[in-house]
Amino acid sequence: MSILGFTWYYIVVFLVVLTILVYVHELGHYWVARRNNVRVEVFSIGFGPEIYGWTDKHGTRWKISAVPLGGYVKMFGETMYDDDSEQTTPLTPEERAVSFHHKRLAQRAAIVAAGPLANFLFAIVVLAGVYGIVGNPAPLAGVGEVLPGSAAAEAGFKPGDRILSIDGKAIKWFEDLRRVVSAHPGAPLNLVIRRDGVDLSIRVTPTVDQEKGADGTPIRVGRLGVRPDPGQIEYERQNPAAAVWMGVERTVGLSGQILVYLGQMIAGNRDAKELGGPLRIAQMSGQVAQGGVVNLVVFMAALSINLGLINLFPIPMLDGGHLIFYAAEAVRGRPVPVRVQEYGFRFGLILVFVLMIFATWNDLVNLRVIEFIRQLIS
């Protein structure tokens, strides 16, 4: 396939992924708004002129817009002033009943927080589905690397070996191999391995090492001195409860890793040039999609977590910024002055715009687009 073909492939995959994630995010806002009897006027995928749309029985205009880089939900009364007297036309009792502005503080906060929470829930459901239907990728009891001077090296293990049993008990997963060896420090073990299609018997004595136990006291553990073989991977399907738990655990773990990464970048321990924007995401989406649907679905879950976290940042214009204003309203007992909110939203818009420009510039440099343009004009 040509470079141009790859480019269009990446763009199409990226837009499909982005559309799904934006829909999930905005659906969170929409669903909680409707549960709280707020009238939703527009549900848009994309910005700008409408390409296609329809109006449902509740009066919501569902539409697909020309610029497919985001989306929004427009609720009635979302930009009301603090006092109805400042409105050119006072609201009727029926309008006040469905106005976002006139809902209780807890209701408004729930509606705003629902978008990011929907992204986290989507990631959990997707990952749980993968773990339950396809399985969790786990290394088999194979040898990928033999550490020099280790017990495995002395016993004659070679990369590519597959451990079949230990002392007559069948072994399948590398984690089982690690567990058995760890429990037998300095004790000889009889292993059956498969090498080049032939089963061989090997006797090995794990070396003795020390590590801290759960209570902090040192304990003796056995070490074989092998690392798993990335070529010997099998998917282990989980039952529904385990799959959901793993989905939650993985979502929480990825969220923590992202926050640590951003913290290191803010502290200067990571280069800000690593920050990627839409072009980098488009490239990664296309590359991951070539590895199969499962890989793309898992990547989509990771992006959904990113989207949820980013929207919770305390920046005006983002959901997190709105939640900060609501927190201030809870403390003050009244809404933050309109003028303060306006200045905050302007600052937030500028900050988001600058970050987008910076991330896009990083993309252009890392993807060598700037270098390519220079070559064309030189």
Active site residues: 26
Q: With residue 41 as reference, give the H or E element that holds it.
A: strand 40-55
User: And the tokens for 9?
Assistant: 């492939």
Spell out where 56-116 has E strands: 61-75
The SS3 call for residue 43 is strand
Residue 90 per-residue DSSP state:
P
Q: Which amino acid is at 189?
A: L
Q: What is the distance of C-alpha 22 from the center of its chain?
A: 14
Chain position carrying tokens 């989207």: 307
Q: Which residues pair with 218 in a beta bridge?
A: 212
Instruction: Please give the Cα distance from 117 to 9 (Å, whole number).
Output: 30
Q: Of 23, 35, 20, whose CA–CA distance to 62 is shortest?
A: 23
User: And the tokens for 250?
Assistant: 């993985």
Q: Is the alpha carbon torsion for 276, 277, 283, 286 positive or negative?
A: positive
Q: With residue 166 as reference, give the H or E element that holds it.
A: strand 162-166
Q: With residue 136 as reference, give the H or E element that holds it.
A: strand 136-139
Instruction: Please give the Cα distance from 66 to 51 (Å, whole number).
Output: 6
First-to-last alpha carbon distance for the chain, in angstroms, is 28
Query: What string of DSSP letters covers 184-233?
Result: -TT--EEEEEEETTEEEEEEE-PEEEEEE-TTS-EEEEEE--EE--TT-E
